[in-house]
Amino acid sequence: QVRLVESGGGLGQAGDSSKLFCGGSGGTFIVGWLRQATGQERESVAAISRDGRNTDYTDSVKGRFAISRDNTENMVALQINSLQPEDAAVYYCSADHRSHFPPSDYGYWGQGTQVTVSS
Protein backbone atom coordinates (compact mmCIF):
# COMPACT_ATOMS: atom_id res chain seq x y z
CA GLN A 1 0.00 0.00 0.00
CA VAL A 2 1.35 3.40 -1.00
CA ARG A 3 1.27 6.08 1.66
CA LEU A 4 2.47 9.66 1.33
CA VAL A 5 2.70 12.05 4.27
CA GLU A 6 3.63 15.69 3.91
CA SER A 7 5.20 17.87 6.57
CA GLY A 8 6.73 21.31 6.77
CA GLY A 9 5.32 24.51 5.37
CA GLY A 10 3.28 26.73 7.65
CA LEU A 11 3.48 30.50 7.87
CA GLY A 12 6.32 32.46 6.34
CA GLN A 13 6.98 36.01 5.30
CA ALA A 14 7.58 37.11 1.75
CA GLY A 15 11.23 36.57 0.97
CA ASP A 16 11.66 33.75 3.49
CA SER A 17 12.50 30.17 2.66
CA SER A 18 10.39 27.15 3.44
CA LYS A 19 10.94 23.44 3.08
CA LEU A 20 8.37 20.74 2.60
CA PHE A 21 8.89 17.06 3.14
CA CYS A 22 7.13 14.02 1.80
CA GLY A 23 7.65 10.70 3.50
CA GLY A 24 6.60 7.71 1.47
CA SER A 25 6.11 3.99 1.79
CA GLY A 26 5.08 1.22 -0.56
CA GLY A 27 7.71 1.59 -3.24
CA THR A 28 9.97 3.96 -5.14
CA PHE A 29 8.01 6.14 -7.54
CA ILE A 30 8.22 9.26 -9.58
CA VAL A 31 7.23 11.98 -7.11
CA GLY A 32 5.72 15.36 -7.74
CA TRP A 33 4.65 18.35 -5.73
CA LEU A 34 1.45 20.06 -6.75
CA ARG A 35 -0.27 23.02 -5.17
CA GLN A 36 -3.74 24.42 -5.04
CA ALA A 37 -4.47 27.95 -3.98
CA THR A 38 -7.90 28.98 -2.78
CA GLY A 39 -10.27 29.27 -5.69
CA GLN A 40 -7.73 28.04 -8.21
CA GLU A 41 -7.03 24.81 -9.98
CA ARG A 42 -4.36 22.46 -8.78
CA GLU A 43 -1.05 22.93 -10.59
CA SER A 44 2.07 20.84 -10.78
CA VAL A 45 5.15 22.70 -9.57
CA ALA A 46 7.92 20.12 -9.49
CA ALA A 47 8.67 16.47 -10.19
CA ILE A 48 11.60 14.16 -9.65
CA SER A 49 12.45 10.85 -11.24
CA ARG A 50 12.88 7.63 -9.29
CA ASP A 51 16.65 7.92 -9.14
CA GLY A 52 16.64 11.67 -8.60
CA ARG A 53 18.62 12.38 -11.74
CA ASN A 54 15.82 14.17 -13.55
CA THR A 55 13.75 17.04 -12.28
CA ASP A 56 11.05 19.17 -13.81
CA TYR A 57 9.59 22.52 -12.74
CA THR A 58 6.79 24.70 -13.87
CA ASP A 59 8.11 27.95 -15.31
CA SER A 60 6.78 30.15 -12.52
CA VAL A 61 8.96 28.47 -9.86
CA LYS A 62 12.16 27.79 -11.79
CA GLY A 63 15.14 29.17 -9.93
CA ARG A 64 13.27 29.39 -6.61
CA PHE A 65 12.07 25.83 -5.99
CA ALA A 66 14.28 22.77 -5.71
CA ILE A 67 13.05 19.22 -5.44
CA SER A 68 15.29 16.48 -4.09
CA ARG A 69 15.00 12.99 -2.75
CA ASP A 70 16.75 10.55 -0.48
CA ASN A 71 15.63 7.05 -1.35
CA THR A 72 17.44 5.59 1.64
CA GLU A 73 15.11 7.66 3.84
CA ASN A 74 12.08 7.38 1.52
CA MET A 75 11.89 11.16 1.57
CA VAL A 76 11.32 13.81 -1.06
CA ALA A 77 11.82 17.46 -0.19
CA LEU A 78 10.75 20.69 -1.81
CA GLN A 79 12.87 23.71 -1.00
CA ILE A 80 11.07 27.00 -1.57
CA ASN A 81 13.23 30.10 -1.64
CA SER A 82 12.18 33.72 -1.73
CA LEU A 83 8.57 33.04 -0.80
CA GLN A 84 6.06 35.10 -2.73
CA PRO A 85 2.40 35.72 -1.93
CA GLU A 86 1.39 33.64 -4.93
CA ASP A 87 3.13 30.62 -3.39
CA ALA A 88 0.43 30.45 -0.72
CA ALA A 89 -1.44 27.22 -1.29
CA VAL A 90 -1.98 23.70 -0.07
CA TYR A 91 0.93 21.64 -1.34
CA TYR A 92 0.37 18.00 -2.17
CA CYS A 93 2.94 15.28 -2.53
CA SER A 94 2.01 12.83 -5.24
CA ALA A 95 3.52 9.70 -6.71
CA ASP A 96 3.15 7.62 -9.81
CA HIS A 97 4.34 4.13 -10.67
CA ARG A 98 4.34 4.59 -14.44
CA SER A 99 7.51 5.39 -16.35
CA HIS A 100 6.66 8.57 -18.27
CA PHE A 101 8.44 11.62 -16.87
CA PRO A 102 7.16 14.04 -15.94
CA PRO A 103 3.80 12.43 -15.36
CA SER A 104 0.65 14.03 -16.71
CA ASP A 105 -1.20 12.82 -13.64
CA TYR A 106 -0.50 10.92 -10.46
CA GLY A 107 -1.98 7.82 -8.96
CA TYR A 108 -1.21 8.46 -5.31
CA TRP A 109 -1.67 11.53 -3.16
CA GLY A 110 -0.88 12.80 0.28
CA GLN A 111 -3.25 14.87 2.40
CA GLY A 112 -1.49 18.15 1.72
CA THR A 113 0.29 20.76 3.80
CA GLN A 114 -0.52 24.46 3.94
CA VAL A 115 1.94 27.18 3.00
CA THR A 116 0.86 30.66 4.02
CA VAL A 117 2.76 33.79 3.06
CA SER A 118 2.47 37.10 4.85
CA SER A 119 3.66 40.24 3.10
Q: pLDDT tens digits for 46-88?
A: 999 999 999 999 999 999 999 999 999 999 999 999 999 999 9
- CA-CA distance, 75 to 71, in Å (whole number)? 6
Q: Taking a C-beta distance cutoff of 8 angstroms, is the pair 43, 20 a contact?
A: no
- CA-CA distance, 53 to 47, in Å (whole number)? 11
| Nearest alpha-carbon partner for 15 in 93, 82, 103 | 82
Question: For residue 98, what pLDDT is reported?
Answer: 87
Query: Mapping DSSP to helix (H, G, I), strand (E, B) and coil, where does residue 60 land?
Result: helix
Amino acid at 20: L
